[in-house]
Amino acid sequence: MKTITARSTKKDTKDAVSEVASALKSVDNIKAVMFFACSDYDNSVIALMQAEFPGITVFGCTSMAEMLNAEYTTNSIVATAFTDELIEDIKTVVLTKVAPGKVDIDDEIAELEEYYGTAFYTLDKEKYFGIVICCPVLSKISEVEIYDEIGDRTSCVFTGATASSTNFVFENVRIYGNGQAYENSAVLALVKSKVPFAFEKMEAVERMNVSASITKMADINPETGAGVGIVQELEGINPADFFSKIYDLPREEIIKMDINDVMRYSLGIVIDGSPFMHTTEYFFPDGSLQLNPPTYPGSHVELFEARDLIPTTREQMAKIREKHPDTSYIVAFDCAYRYLDGLTHHTLEEYTGMWKGIPMMGLATFGEYFICKVSQTTGMLLLK
């Protein structure tokens, strides 16, 4: 068996870990365990999980909602044990030197290179893949810099997410690795796979054939990260005025939009015809726009309009299943906005049901990593 999955909804941390571990231990050839746990569980969850699997790589993060085998639950732990039928080797490192503008991953990259006996930039992307999970307590710009650093150093593909927490509150958010819980950090897992793998993503948006350059962004406070992602001009125009002109809406109405309204009209960077989404979270009274994830001045963006989540996902999942018919397991990094859309419209069961028939695990994230940091996206790692 390539993977074993387990879930517990027990409220006590020790009891929940014990239930999950008992289910995973039905096989004895485990190489690694990845888990997502409600942020209400205490920090002992990682030490308890590691103690259940001595000598085995255990890593993961907190989550606002946990998905396992096509079902979302909350206040739960979900976990997957990867066996030696799937993984030849795995090494995790925790990135802790990640202050804004001062991201330094040299030591951790060197640790990976020493472990595998090969340079990071020469990794065979047909044999190796990576998972990286960041803590949102980090400055948003630090996350982008981490992803950029990884991408600049290797052609090996990494996917991952920003850890999340209960009720969309940025508290008690942690990443787990090396038997410890961390804030202001990221965990990076580099896997040498025994099986072919692929990456796919989904987003429920439609191109509007309107593009713009970000001509001015706010200055960033390097100590606090204040100002990150604030767009002050699109094509030399105040963002609220730009949106008002495009959508034929009064400027005052644009500024008063809440996140549900604003998210109908998002910005994205298009690469090879594929959108990489940035959420327009809200407008400031002066008409400036908060963009998440942040990007850089001079970036060329396009405008997108939201599509209905259910038919769009159904269509995309059908194509993914057809393209990858021999998939044995999926890790899904599912944007929390997509999860909340399912809750709001009472379609969550229908939404998650689209993964039925394939063993899988996922979480509702505070941001997704798919080549670069994105939003409003489900990024997926598919293992054959």
What percent of the chain lies above the pLDDT cut of 90? 77
pLDDT tens digits for range 343-382: 999 999 999 999 999 999 999 999 999 888 889 999 999 9
**At 292, is the pLDDT very low, low, confident or very high (cuts 50, 70, 90)?**
confident
pLDDT tens digits for range 150-175: 989 999 999 999 999 997 777 789 99
Least trusted range by pLDDT, from 22-31, 67-76, 262-271, 308-317: 262-271
- CATH 2.40.10, the chain: domain bounds: 205-306
Contacts with 319 (C-beta within 8 Å, 6 or more apart), sequence order: none
Cα distance between residue 303 and residue 215, in whole Å: 15
pLDDT of 67 reads 98
294 or 269: whose pLDDT is higher? 269
pLDDT (mean) for 50-64: 97
Q: Which residues pair with 102 in a beta bridge?
A: 99
Query: 162 to each of 63, 170, 363, how far by Cα in Å?
Result: 9, 11, 10
260 or 102: whose pLDDT is higher? 102
Taking the model in full, what pTM does it have? Answer: 0.93
| Domain 205-306, CATH | 2.40.10
**At 225, is the pLDDT very low, low, confident or very high (cuts 50, 70, 90)?**
low
